[in-house]
Structure 1
Amino acid sequence: MKLIGKTLLLIGATSDIGRATALTYAQAGWDVHLVGRARERVQREADDIGARTGKAIMVHELDILDTGRFEAFLSEVLPLPDTAVCVIGELGEQARAEREMEHAAMVMRTNFEGPALLMGLLAERFAARGSGTLVGISSVAGDRGRASNYVYGAAKAGLTAFLSGLRNRLSKAGVRVLTVKPGFVRTRMTVGLKLPPLLTAEPQEVANVIFAMAEGGKGPDVAYVRRIWRPLMAVIRSLPEPIFKRLRL
């Protein structure tokens, strides 16, 4: 079926942020391609969003750790999307990552290697066309390594740096590269965690920021979903190392 209008590629469709973002775009009239690891779960999201909006929702299966399939996967996504949003994230368990190399590697690859390589391939296709917008979900955890989540934070720091370099390289090629740092979000991934209300966003808040940044035409290239995070993380980044080491963060 030939799609009409603008098209979104949403990578990480079964997450709470992914679902909210896909629904936001579909409600705005976009055709949507949903990508996830388990086709059945992705199809359920697609059926629900399609029923709510009447829009064409395409379904794709892809494991972000299966980097060898990225090229073939992108050849299946037609037409080349106007905007691609990658919301994939895996918090993992810090204590387990300290003990088990395999778990640490999974967290690092899921949050950095897979998303970065896939967005890099998309960026090349966007650059060849001369247009396109890429949105990557990073994290405030990547702003400075903290004892409580430094494996996850290191991976997100890598993604932030990758998106920054990609943005710098493609700024004159008609391709926009945006970085969103949600902070705490009330999702299935954070169930059981004690979250501070002032610093905790809802999935729809994140989706609204993504859509405003990517499609609003103006605004920053890097955004914290809740603005309070910007001065807070500026303070944390500026702390001298001897003081920082004494803190429990």
Structure 2
Amino acid sequence: MTADLWVVLGASSSVARAFARAAAEGGADLVLAGRDQADLADTAADLRLRTGRRVECLDFDAAGFDSHDAFVETCWRLAEGHRLNLFFAAGSMPDQEAAMRDFRLARSIVEVNFLSVVSLLNRLEPGLRAQRGGAVVVLGSVAGDRGRRKNFLYGSAKAGLHAYLQGMRGRLLADGVRVVTVKPGFLDTAMTWGLPGLFLVASPQAAARAGLQAAGKGRDEIYYPGFWRLIMLIIKAIPERLFKRLSI
């Protein structure tokens, strides 16, 4: 049986580190990709010691689109003899009001949370189809299910991401490639630390395990924790004439 190699993007995040550990403990080799190479090197050393798996590190800038061709080529080279899989956890959520005043911030939200995935998966797609298998697990958000007044820039990027993944899921279906969208609620991460109004905060470690399990089971989309599916069904059912008046 072909061994798995997981390329973990945004690998300095707590969710990505947890996913990498779970994948390695399950017998997969790893490529950790991100901008903080010192942090990635520490994580790689720890994982090699804990699991005995091969762990490589690559520099990756989600919004550095001109570098993505070379990055993808390197991933395929490192995946020789393996089935390549992808976990994408890179994300950016600047303050909404600051992004409304500064278009550079607004653009970065779209580039990191949406366009970076399009850039990479469009480049990876031919190879994924050719290998006739593998999994792509992408961290979306419940914020993409409806445009909230307080967070619609981030939410709109995630909504675009969800639609793109849905289409890619259908495109790769006949090739045996699983595309999984993970929609977490509030996670206890550096990106959400200190934000007001958080509730039902879940651990990034548990969310990572849920994403890996969803890939193994061939799931298309999961909410984590699962009760967020019901919460978002209720929120999406609120008529627009009422929803636009809600300060959420």
Q: Same fold (TM over 0.5)?
A: yes
Does the 8 A contact of 1:7 with 1:31 survive in 2?
A: yes
What is the distance in 2 between the residues matched to 1:241 and 1:135? 31
Q: Please name the residue that 1:229 is paired with.
A: 228
Where does residue 14 of structure 2 map in the other structure?
A: 16
* SS at structure 2 position matched to 1:188: coil
How much does 1:191 deviate? 1.1
Aligned partners of 2:149 and 2:244 also within 8 Å: no
What is the Cα deviation at residue 96 of structure 1? 0.4
2:121 paired with 1:119 = yes
CA drift of 1:5 comes to 2.7
Query: CA contact under 8 A between 1:12 and 1:18: conserved in structure 2?
Result: yes
Q: Any gaps of 5 or more consecutive residues in structure 2?
A: none
Contact 2:18 2:205 in 1 (8 A): yes
Distance in 1 (alpha carbons) for counterparts of 2:3 and 2:114 = 31
Distance 2:7 2:229 in 1: 28
Q: State the percentage of identical aligned residues.
A: 36
In structure 2, how many angstroms separate the alpha carbons of the residues matched to 1:143 and 1:92? 19
The structural deviation recorded for 1:194 is 3.9
**CA deviation string 1:105-126 (max 9, x = no partner):** 0111010001222123222211
TM-score (norm 2): 0.93
In structure 2, the residue matched to 1:245 is: 244
Q: Is the 8 A contact 2:109 2:153 kept in 1?
A: yes
Offset at residue 38 of structure 1 (A): 2.4
Contact 1:123 1:134 (C-alpha < 8 Å) held by counterparts: no
**What SS is found at the alignment partner of 1:200?**
coil
Q: Which amino acid aligns with 1:132?
A: G
- Measure, in 2, the Cα distance between the counterparts of 1:155 and 1:196: 20
CA contact (8 A) 1:132 1:176 kept: yes
1:79 corresponds in structure 2 to 79
Q: Distance in 2 between matches of 1:160 and 1:90?
A: 16
| CA distance in 1 between partners of 2:7 and 2:152 (Å) | 30
Q: What's 1:32 paired with? A: 30
Q: Offset at 1:195? A: 5.7
What 5-or-longer segments of structure 1 have no aligned partner? Answer: none
- Corresponding residue for 1:153? 155
CA distance in 2, matches of 1:173, 1:56: 27
| Aligned alpha-carbon RMSD (Å) | 1.5
Q: Name the amino acid aligned to 2:242.
A: I
Q: 1:183 maps to what in 2?
A: 185
- 1:58 is aligned to 2:59: no
Letter in 2 for 1:79: A
Q: Deviations over 1:7-62 (max 9, x none)?
A: 11111100010000001111112111100012222112111222222221100001
CA 1:195–1:247 in 2, change beyond 3 Å: closer, same or farther? closer
Which position in structure 2 is the counterpart of 1:93? 95
TM-score (ref. length: structure 1): 0.93
SS of residue matched to 1:146: coil
8 Å contact from structure 2 (residues 86, 137) kept in 1: yes
Structure 1, residues 139-194: CA drift from partner, whole Å, max 9, x if none? 00000000111111111011000000101122112211110011100011111124
Q: For each residue in 1:40-88, what CA deviation from the matched residue of structure 2 results, as whole angstroms up to 9, or x when unmatched?
A: 2211211122222222110000101111111111111221643211011
